[in-house]
Chains A and B, each alone.
Chain A
Amino acid sequence: MKIKVDMQKCQHYGQCVFEAPDIFKLNDQDKLEYTAEADESQRANVEAAADVCPMQAIFIES
């Protein structure tokens, strides 16, 4: 599956990090980093992360 975060919208609150810790993390500067391509087994976690994003900036593209 392909994941995209709209970095114009993202406010780096890190809510996605605890829903899908294998995909999203906050780096040392508290900025979001993520893996754009993930195994299908991660879909439920990534959907949960997209649900809790305050800015609704996480998109699952396939």
Chain B
Amino acid sequence: MNDAIVIVGASMGGLRVAESLRRFGYLGPIKIFGDEPHLPYNRPPLSKEVLADEVNHDAVAFAIRDSIGEIEWMLDCPITGIDTSAKTVTDKHGHKHNYSALVIATGLSAKELNRLPEGTAGVHVLRSLDHAINLRKELKPGAKVVIVGAGFIGCEVAATAQTLGCAVSVVGSGNVPLNRPLCEVFGAEVMRRQQEQGVKFFMNSGIADVAVGTEAGSPKVSAIKLVDGQQLDCDVVLFAIGSTPNTQWLASSGIDIVDGVHTNNSMQALDLSGKVVPDVYAIGDVARFTNPLFDGLARRVEHWNIPTETAKRAAKVIAAKFVSGEDFELALAEPFAPMPSFWSNQFEMQILGYGSPALATASKLIEGSLSEEFVFGYYRDDKLVGVAGIGMKNALLSYRMQMLQNQ
């Protein structure tokens, strides 16, 4: 029997690779390894619905179509090493698995603060379903919650927790939340609307120390001390300070993992000299790939639609190699320029955006009014590289179209 196509990572990206391989005609064996015990589930609800309601995996699990056929799911079974010459990966039990093609879809881990006593209660990060369920238990009415980090996750959890009756404080390093993905003026408006709902913001700040007390003989967080000397008493702290690519297992592989897995525009992994590593691909948040929509630089993109887009791209290329009658070189040469999409629900706000505002050198309000519904345009050298707004979804859709036509 032929060696399996091995997918490392059993989240949305991994699932989409498997589905797409079948769609493109690959009928052979597929193995998917995941470090969590769960079948693939949707992560955006983790900062919202999963915190607000007593829901479990069923409520967020992806529907798996029958057309996916037979898949060998290896859950709760992280991969710890790879040998790209022998074409094997090693799992946590030390078992080796041959691959015909390997897809790296290991995603990111939330950054944690490592200097706290082990097992300190009340301290959280949010990336997985289990994280969300643990955090949910503590978001009781009246609980004092400090969120460190004023990005999308921080702002979404702030809104959810405040709605649940918690007293929420957000600590951030910029002048306003979301200044990097959305710009200062947009971020200030988001902050104003959050403050109207009672969320407190401590901006241009950071944490100097975490005070740890004891509860029932165990360490438990009691306060956050800020760099300016203020102290915020708290029952719960969430660190929403960004993520790091899960590439430790590739450390001695020769693959370029300087910031995620470096790939070309066909999602083929590259080594440190920029050469293709045969039959190894990377997709999703962990992949640092070139996107001609913007320029020739390889970047990681942490937007939700990117795992799906890159999964389909990789699957098409892989299928072209393994399905008879397909042309691998032709598949590699196909254009691939995915348009990032992102959105965020906070209280009544529905923020939606396309493209890559973070690349912009200038931004301005181009439709609507700041206190109601609006669209911002983001420009690099006078070229529109991103749009984002609150409401005005049809308008945003037409700017998306415009950016696709301008490339």
Listed in ascending order, the chain A residues whose CB lies under 8 Å from chain B are 11-15, 17-18, 26, 28, 30, 44, 47, 50-52, 54-56, 59
The residue in chain A whose Cβ has the minimal distance to the Cβ of B391 is: A30
Contact between A51 and B393, CB atoms less than 8 A apart:
no
Contact between A51 and B16, CB atoms less than 8 A apart:
yes
* B391 surroundings in chain A (CB, below 8 A): 30
Bound Cα distance from A50 to B15, whole angstroms: 14
Complex partner residue of B341 from A15, A47, A59, CB under 8 angstroms: A15
Q: Given A13-B350, A13-B352: A59 and B393 within 8 A (CB)?
A: no
* B350 surroundings in chain A (CB, below 8 A): 11-13
B394 within 8 A of A: yes
Contact between A26 and B16, CB atoms less than 8 A apart:
no
Bound Cα distance from A41 to B345, whole angstroms: 34
Q: Given A11-B350, A52-B308: A26 and B62 within 8 A (CB)?
A: no
* B343 surroundings in chain A (CB, below 8 A): 11, 13, 54
List of 5 A-B pairs having minimum Cβ-Cβ separation, nearest first: A30-B393, A14-B393, A26-B394, A13-B343, A56-B42
Chosen A-B contacts, 15 in total, with CB atoms closer than 8 Å, are A11-B350, A12-B393, A13-B343, A14-B393, A14-B394, A15-B341, A17-B397, A18-B400, A26-B393, A26-B394, A30-B394, A44-B23, A52-B305, A52-B341, A59-B63
* A51 surroundings in chain B (CB, below 8 A): 16, 308
Best-buried of B42, B63, B397 by chain A (most CB within 10 Å): B397
Q: Given A14-B397, A18-B397: A54 and B44 within 8 A (CB)?
A: yes
B121 within 8 A of A: no
Known pairs A13-B350, A26-B394, A56-B63 / 19 extra A-B pairs, C-beta < 8 Å: A11-B343, A11-B350, A12-B350, A13-B352, A14-B393, A14-B394, A14-B397, A15-B341, A18-B400, A30-B392, A30-B393, A51-B16, A52-B308, A52-B341, A54-B44, A54-B343, A56-B42, A56-B62, A59-B63
B304 within 8 A of A: yes
- A44 shortest CB reach to chain B, Å: 8
